[in-house]
Amino acid sequence: MEEFHNHQVTAWWTSGRTGLAKCESAPNALHFTAPLQFGGLEGRWTPEDLLLTAIGSCYATTFRALADRSRFEYADLEVQVSGTVRKVDSGYTFTEIVTRPALTMAGTEHHKSAVRVLHKTQELCLVGRALCVKHTFEPRVRLTNTLPTL
């Protein structure tokens, strides 16, 4: 396996109250909006939803990889991720994110192994670990003679 992998998403505000995001690994663009509380549209993904989805889906894929590698048998894994956003002096912030994996398996003889794999998954989940990584900000401004009409 390679030492590093690059991932990139491009997001842009299309018009009104909605935007699009796309990446090379998926054929379809994703429509997003602000949360309803901030004037967003109903029925669209929000950045907050996408963050929690990234955590949950990363947890699930990491668990599957660990279970496959250790030949750990299970029937199902459901991962619920919730986040609390609060107003603080500097704006809004996530004050807590909770990941609740629910593992279904046959029998009780492997209960300790199950708990160990669930905890190891939390330690190794790339997206969860990325929440505390350095975030570099590199803004650009492009100049044009005309502005599009919205």
| Cα separation, 65 vs 57, whole angstroms | 12
Tell me the per-residue pLDDT of 38-78, one tens digit each, with 9 for 90 and over.
Answer: 999 999 999 999 999 999 999 999 999 999 999 999 999 99
Q: List where CATH 3.30.300.20 sits in the chain.
A: 46-150
| Cα separation, 30 vs 19, whole angstroms | 8
- Is the CB of residue 20 less than 8 Å from the CB of residue 8? no
Closest CA to 66 of 116, 125, 121: 121
Q: List where CATH 2.20.25 sits in the chain.
A: 1-44
Closest CA to 54 of 29, 27, 81, 92: 81
| Cα separation, 147 vs 34, whole angstroms | 23
Helix runs in the chain, H state only: 47-70, 111-124, 126-130
Q: What is the CATH number of domain 1-44?
A: 2.20.25
* Whole-number pLDDT of residue 133: 73
Tell me the per-residue pLDDT of 29-40, one tens digit each, with 9 for 90 and over.
Answer: 999 999 999 999
Range 46-150 has CATH code 3.10.20.30: no
Identity at 71, one-letter amino acid code: R
Rg (CA), the chain: 19
Tell me the per-residue pLDDT of 107-140, one tens digit each, with 9 for 90 and over.
Answer: 878 888 999 999 999 999 999 999 887 878 887 8
| Cα separation, 73 vs 51, whole angstroms | 29
- Is the CB of residue 75 less than 8 Å from the CB of residue 106? yes
Identity at 131, one-letter amino acid code: L
Averaged pLDDT, 7-23: 92
Is 95 strand, coil or helix? strand
Q: Is the per-residue pLDDT at 144 higher than 90?
A: no
